[in-house]
Structure 1
């Protein structure tokens, strides 16, 4: 796998313009960075980095290979991600540095060329632990797994990373390189964007669908101002021998009898309404418009006809449980890069604190803290402490940081930890655990 970029050269002298840098992922021991030359041989599979991979091919005198400008062993990283030579204006300390990274370890590294000897000196930008870097004093607070680099029109450098070492991650974060120790003076960095030249022919846009408007005029029929008479109730049967009295006309009946009926004038036609639908050209359609959704009734909202709340029950007839207790733990997440289903007793640790679920920072996570979680869930012990992001990143906030347990606590909240919500752990480094299979009823 290669990730290559072209050096745009120094803005004043033009030194280095047109050089092609490539990060080459190694086989078993080394990762390397090369400057590509036309028709050159870079030694694979006779050499890996500066060392011999195949001894028979390595001793061949006709190999005539070109050595890389830099190679590093797998104790620093296992998958190099090629970057760019910084040629921007805002960060003068980064000018001329080839900045690249490693996908697995999350290290940001740089190479600087010595003008007299032509050698490249290595210098690490970030340690990958959230500390202030020695040079160029950048604060490292990013997701660990760096995927790619990019630069804008002005030569400023960016990189994208995620919190899960997988190609199936649905989202990532883009960061910009900023050097707080030294910035360019105000007003110096000005550039004019160049127009993009298109060599090919432009393809005209031809829509495959067209919009049809149908004008419909609706009129309202004339109505009478006299209210519609209500149906009279049926008279009740009177007992035999009873006398009937005619009720006196009340005040309301006299006023109603004195009024005359009038008819209202014909209503004016309403403005035309537009109804639309999509139609494929050459294919007549007879589909009607979708009906509007009617508002839910009281029964659908969980209320009866009299306004009383209906008891919501599950299909088994049991009532649903309420909120969990403070400090309740659970295991969640998926296993592996292809999101396989995890087994019972393993997963990402999540804690219910202050009315919400959250995760635990995995930086100081050890076997003692994992044993407390397994015992709280009803397992006899811990089989293994899961690595960071082994069960995927979570969208929940990190609520517990710097958790340190002796191993005899009954709940995770009784262990030593920072105040709730305070941590120095980026996303994708949540704690996980793999408990033993023997299960007993959990402690309350």
Structure 2
């Protein structure tokens, strides 16, 4: 196999740098009309025909021999069996990763709170977990047991009563690691269906698949398009784009390390993006040499080559301050601060899904076992979005209790504002609670 690299070289000092960077970062996540219509047809069929449609689509798209929905249901006992079918080393790794993910997310739990004002009025917030969450897991070759942990454990920590997992099994291929991860993470039910039909089933429910309150988890363009269409009927985590890594380096890290860190995201798929930013031009040259040297040794060399050549870049900047400015402009999913003193630069980072501090903290550790969630905002959405967490599986209700005196006092304020908006019923509703002695004042 012959592979070659022609990774783009950009310089922040060039007059056209902003335009070139924008072009490099551009990625269109919207499906074409054919995909969109196909997804709408699938959703309609699932809503109208329920389990029968799921069985039909699973036979057609996944090549699975299923005569009824029962053939597509896995119980907890099947998940427990998967634990015995993986190696001891795999089980230990899954359990260690799960423990770390659970420990980290326990710190995210939000509690209800209240406070009482002088007149007896009580205000507060009640935090309640979702009743049921749906977890989409890719199947076949693109199977990620780590994603099962990252999606299911925060839901369980939040107190979600039931976590329902859907995972396609193309041609009957069952990934035992995925099922073992589901067992360890506490998944309650598993349906071996995928695609837009699985999203539709979770959103609207069928005779067998329960309707959920929120759907989380990665998927292909059909899954992403379906999630767009059912949003509002259910909550969703995000519409994720290709995986991204941005490495900011002062030029003192081993260039082979940096090249492999870039590969770690480029190997996901051809649209993944790997970018290095450094003020050291000679270091960029050394990393480019490492990329050329190491690429032929990679199992997914062809995918990495297309990703690096198509969407990758080595960017030279004036200094570390400008490197941070470029990082904030990109707002990456994963940001490595491969520098001598990452803590000194942390306060200046404003937009990033996850920040990996120091030369020894590879992004891969965050993908599997560090503890923080690896479901992160992509395509610049770190400007306004956060990693998946316990808070995504909790909802908040406001609490308002007015004492007689408090209702009277607040009623006067509400009356003025309501009449200013010409909402007389609002005003009179509040005025009924004003104490007679205050009305006369």
TM-score range, shorter chain: under 0.3
Between structures 1 and 2, the one with greater strand share: 1
Structure possessing the higher radius of gyration over alpha carbons = 1
Between structures 1 and 2, the one with greater helix share: 2
Kindly indicate whether structure 1 or structure 2 has the higher relative contact order, using CA contacts under 8 Å at least 6 residues apart.
Answer: 2
TM-score by length of 2: 0.19
